[in-house]
Chain A
Amino acid sequence: MSAVATLRRSRRGGQPASRRLRPWYKNGSLVAGLIIVGIMVLLAVLAPLISPDNPLHQNLDQALQGPSGTHWLGTDKLGRDVLSRLLYGARVDLKIGFLAVLIPFVVGSILGAIAGYYGGWIDIIIMRVVDVFYAFPLYLLVIALVFVLGSGERSIYLAIALVSWVSYCKIVRGEVIVARRQEYVQAARLGGLKNMRVLARHVGPNVVSQAITYAMSDIIMDIMVIVTLGYLGLGITPPTAEWGSMISDAQEFITTLWWMAVLPGIAVVITGLGLSLIGDGLGDLLSPERRR
Chain B
Amino acid sequence: MSTISGVNEALSVEDVTKQYGSRRNILRALDGVSLELQRGEIVGLVGESGSGKSTLAKIIAGGTGQTSGRVLSDGQEIGIRRNAGEHRRIQMVFQDPYSSLNPRLTVRSTLAEVLRVHKIVERDQIDKEVSRLMGLVGLDDSALDAYPGQFSGGQRQRIAIARALAVRPEVLVADEPVSALDVSVQATILDLFRSLRSELGLSVLFIAHNLAVVQHLVDRIAVMYLGRIVEVAPVQALFAAPQHPYTQALIASVPRMRPADLERAPAIEGEPPSPIHLPPGCRFNPRCAHAQSSCRDTDPTLEPAGAPDHLAACLFAGALQPRSIAATKESA
Contacts and interface: CB of A to CB of B under 8 A. Distances in A.
Interface stretch (B91-99, B238-246, B288-296): B91-99
Interface stretch (A14-22, A77-85, A115-123, A220-228): A14-22
Interface stretch (B24-32, B145-153, B269-277): B145-153
Interface stretch (B34-42, B135-143, B215-223, B225-233): B135-143
A12 interface: yes
B105 interface: yes
B143 A15 contact: yes
A12 B153 CA distance: 10
A206 B87 contact: no
Given A8-B184, A192-B167, A197-B117, A288 B63 contact: no
Contacts of B151: 16-17
A24 B152 CA distance: 24
B113 A201 contact: yes
Given A187-B160, A190-B87, A201-B113, A206 B103 contact: yes
Interface in A1-18: 8, 10-18
A14 B144 CA distance: 10
A184 B150 contact: no
A237 interface: no
A182 interface: yes
A166 B185 CA distance: 47
A141 interface: no
Contacts of A182: 99
Interface string B144-187: 00111111111100001001100100000000000000101100
A13 B285 CA distance: 48
A97 to B, nearest CB: 29
Nearest to B104: A205
B118 interface: yes
A58 B91 CA distance: 75
Max chain B CB contacts within 10 Å: which of A8, A18, A184?
Answer: A184
B322 interface: no
Contacts of A202: 102, 105
A201 B105 contact: yes
Contact of A291 (B149, B154, B167): B149
A80 to B, nearest CB: 51
Contacts of A190: 61-63, 87, 91-92
A183 interface: yes
Interface in A213-255: none
B174 to A, nearest CB: 13
Contacts of A257: none
A18 B149 CA distance: 10
B108 interface: no
B251 to A, nearest CB: 31
B88 interface: yes
B114 A193 contact: yes
Nearest to B151: A16
A14 B61 contact: no
B163 A187 contact: yes
Contact of B140 (A15, A19, A201): A15
A16 B103 contact: no
Contacts of A195: none
A12 B188 contact: yes
Given A183-B94, A187-B94, A291-B149, A192 B102 contact: no
Nearest to A187: B100
Contacts of B312: none
Contacts of A188: 102
A206 B104 CA distance: 7
A184 B99 contact: yes
A11 B143 contact: no
A18 B138 CA distance: 18
A14 B148 contact: no
B82 interface: yes
A189 interface: yes
Interface in A238-292: 288, 290-292
B87 A191 contact: yes
Contacts of A8: 184
21 contacts: A11-B153, A14-B142, A16-B142, A17-B152, A19-B149, A19-B150, A184-B100, A187-B92, A187-B100, A189-B63, A190-B87, A192-B82, A192-B88, A192-B117, A192-B118, A192-B167, A202-B102, A205-B104, A290-B149, A291-B147, A292-B149
Given A183-B94, A192-B167, A291-B148, 10 more contacts: A12-B154, A14-B134, A15-B142, A16-B155, A18-B150, A186-B94, A187-B163, A205-B102, A291-B149, A292-B98
Interface of B: 61-63, 82-88, 91-92, 94-96, 98-105, 113-114, 117-118, 134, 138-140, 142-143, 146-155, 160, 163-164, 167, 182, 184-185, 188
The 3 closest A-B pairs by CB, nearest first: A192-B87, A14-B140, A291-B149
